[in-house]
Amino acid sequence: MSEMIRIAIQKSGRLSEDSLNLIRECGIQFNNGTGKLKSEAANFPAEFLSLRDDDIPGYVADGVADIGIVGENVLIETHQKVDLVHRLGFSKCRLSLAVPRGDDYRQLTDLHQKRIATSYPRILSNFLQEHKIEADIHEISGSVEIAPSIGLTDAICDIVSSGSTLMSNGLKEVEVIFRSEAVLIAHPNLSPARQQILDKLIFRIKSVQAAKN
């Protein structure tokens, strides 16, 4: 059997549709049957694995998948040994600090010794360290935005797109700490044959991106 590359994409979520569109725009046809974990392309040496986005960097680091598409936020947070090979420009979002609307927040140092809820403890703690703020990070996996109203924390650090979730939870955005977009990641030591397939794919992605600009 000839060489093929394994591509991990998000099964269902905010990356899925644009990831699939990009692959199609690259002229790659595949049958992404609903609920199917694995599917093979008809006209390109690739097969696709549909996974939870959080698992993608780990699978690529382990070599279970050769390449993958994830949010840069998840890439940095999971801290896996993979290469960021190309920026994809979709699923743009920001990771921000937010506090209760009534707070008279003025500057970052106001967060000194405060409790902050987040699902991104690594990115947050890097940011706080850089700015010499000592705060108490509470890692929670979901519904971060309710933490202040239930008295768990004084602030949150979460993904913001429109700000309406913050608003409905009585919060206001006070600092952007990270800007993210979808990125293509790769296993650091691909075989020459797979590297060649990846190069071909990146070439096609660049053409698709160039045609849009």
Among 45, 57, 71, 148, binds ligand ATP (CB under 6 A): 71
Rounded CA separation 15/71 (Å):
8
Rounded CA separation 23/7 (Å):
10
Residue with tokens 């096609």: 204
Residue 78 interacts with ligand ATP (CB under 6 A)? no
Residue 53 interacts with Zn ion (CB under 5 A)? yes
Residue 204 interacts with ligand ATP (CB under 6 A)? no
Rounded CA separation 55/169 (Å):
29
Q: Which strand ranges, in their side-by-side order, compose the sheet holding 93-100?
A: 136-139, 115-118, 155-160, 93-100, 171-180
List binders of Zn ion among 76-135 (CB under 5 A). Answer: none
Residue with tokens 């097969």: 47
Residue 83 interacts with ligand ATP (CB under 6 A)? no
Please, which residue, 111 or 177, has the CB nearer to ligand ATP? 177
If contact means CB under 5 to 8 A according to the sort of partner, which of Zn ion, ligand ATP, none does residue 159 touch? ligand ATP
* Interface residue list for ligand ATP (CB under 6 A): 10, 13-15, 52-54, 71, 73-74, 91-93, 159, 161, 180
